[in-house]
Structure 1
Amino acid sequence: MRTGLLVVALLLAPAAAQAAPESALDRCLASEAGATTIGQIQCIGDELKVQDARLNRNYAKAMKDLTPEQKAKLRAAQRAWLAFKDADCRSLQDDAWGTLSRVSANMCVLERTIERADELASYPDR
């Protein structure tokens, strides 16, 4: 029975892989440049620029029609989120853990930025 499940899993794997389009980050990390720590950090940095711009657009859109009190609350929340993101991701980098900790810390910044951009995209209207 386990063999049957393995066969089914192997048959479904290509379909699952086709369902999720490969991102620019995935392509970069799979390239020759993505084979080094510096290359991985560059790939992550390139995607961070895209996601940071998206976050900024979503923040501006969220702020657009808020009352002054609502704007002040969102501004305070965004500043607190920035401080959290920076501290949280810095905690993942330490020279004693090797150079891959730099990749982990940079990936953390990217992941947190994507999450926050998504949150801001669905921020309530006034």
Structure 2
Amino acid sequence: MTRYASLFAVILLAATPLPASADAIFDRCNAATKAVTDSDLAPCGSAWVAREEVRLKLAWKRALDEVDGAGSEQGKALLDEQRAWIAFKEKACRRYDVMSAGTLGRFHDAYVCRAQIIGDRINELGSLRGDGLS
């Protein structure tokens, strides 16, 4: 097994999110739009994931600065790790995409899962500085 495959397997096993709740903005958005169907949930869920992606970009820049940039040995290792994590992120939560249609909970939980995966990575990157970046 390659180093990347091993890292991916460890990340996959360790980072299985349990979608339990969403963030307050997502909840308020769904309440304001009176979300009832999957298509009602999409704008609020997409916005939540987009907010987390913005936070991730900031956390990534801070983490890279902390290890003296992408050209340093630590920076190169962190970049390799981030690439492996991105591959994981793209495959995580797909179980919700294949659940039976018409299951409103699956759509809600898919957004929760995706946002939590990103939030966990933000916290992990923040731990490099010891500030959590949450």
* Cross-structure match for 1:53: 54
Pick the aligned partner of 1:81 from 79, 85, 95: 85
Pick the aligned partner of 2:75 from 30, 52, 71: 71
Q: Quick check: 1:106 aligned with 2:111?
A: yes
Q: TM-score, normalised by structure 2?
A: 0.66
Q: Distance in 2 between matches of 1:82 and 1:34?
A: 30
Q: Is the CA contact (8 Å cut-off) linking 1:86 and 1:109 kept in structure 2?
A: no
Q: TM-score, normalised by structure 1?
A: 0.69
Q: Which runs of at least 4 in structure 1 moved beyond 4 Å after TM superposition?
A: none
Unaligned regions of 5+ residues in structure 1, if any? 1-21
Q: Give percent identity, aligned residues only.
A: 27
Q: CA offset at residue 92 of structure 1?
A: 2.7
Unaligned regions of 5+ residues in structure 2, if any? 1-22
Q: CA offset at residue 76 of structure 1?
A: 1.1
Larger Rg: 1
Q: Is the CA contact (8 Å cut-off) linking 1:25 and 1:43 kept in structure 2?
A: yes
The structure whose residues are more often helix, as a share, is 1
Q: Is the CA contact (8 Å cut-off) linking 2:55 and 2:122 kept in structure 1?
A: yes
Aligned residues between the structures: 103
